[in-house]
Structure 1
Amino acid sequence: MEDKPFKEVTVMTRQIGKMKVITSIKQAAEFIVNEWPGTDTERLDIAKHALLECYDGKLSPGVARMAFIEAAKEADIYVEAVGRPPSTGKLEKWRKGKMRRRA
């Protein structure tokens, strides 16, 4: 079976303050087996099933990723990713030329 990458997901590990970045179906499955806190829930079962279906080529990695995220949210281990980097405080010029008057 080949590993299938997806957009990174950051989760907290069992070690206090330590986070892990998951970037593939294989890493997600290993995290569930080795690091998952608590007991099985319905969302975790759905995530496990989605990961297996993705390995078999029946689901896309994006769908399996979303199932993993939903299970991680339910387990309170998902870390929300920041959408944009912080501002540098500098304004970027998006239009270099001078404005022309229309006649």
Structure 2
Amino acid sequence: MNDRLWSEAVIIEAPGRQLRVESTRDAEICLRRYWPLKDGRALNLAREACQRALSGSASPDSARRAFVEAAREAEFEIRSWS
């Protein structure tokens, strides 16, 4: 399985929950199973970016950037260096 690892993990925090996301596969699972929003512009873009990266038609970095934007939209506290 091609997880499309990221150069740096993204840690997102909400009250009572902390998730460490290290790859495009992690992000896709997180968006599908643990996301507090069911819809949103950044969420939809992140889902698409993850699918493209997992299929090899986009870079893991583009999926990571989209995931961070979706986390901002969902009002998660984000812990990451980049």
TM-score (normalised: structure 1): 0.70
Larger radius of gyration: 1
Q: Which has the higher contact order (CA 8 A, sep 6+)?
A: 2
- Percent sequence identity is 30
Structure 2 residue identity aligned to 1:36: W
More strand per residue: 1 or 2?
A: 2
Structure 1 residue identity aligned to 2:10: V
Report runs of 4+ in structure 1 exceeding 6 Å deviation.
Answer: none
2:34 corresponds to: 35
How many Å separate the matches in 2 of 1:61 and 1:46? 14
TM-score (normalised: structure 2): 0.87
How well do the aligned residues superpose, as a CA RMSD in angstroms? 1.7
Within-5 A mapping of 1:65-76: 65-76=64-75
How many Å separate the matches in 2 of 1:46 and 1:39? 13
Aligned residue-pair number: 81
List alignment gaps of at least 5 residues for structure 2: none
Within-5 A mapping of 1:34-73: 34-73=33-72
**DSSP 3-state at the match of 1:79:** strand
**DSSP 3-state at the match of 1:19:** strand
List alignment gaps of at least 5 residues for structure 1: 84-103
Q: Deviations over 1:54-84 (max 9, x none)?
A: 011111101110000001101111413357x
Shift of 1:2: 1.4
**DSSP 3-state at the match of 2:56:** coil
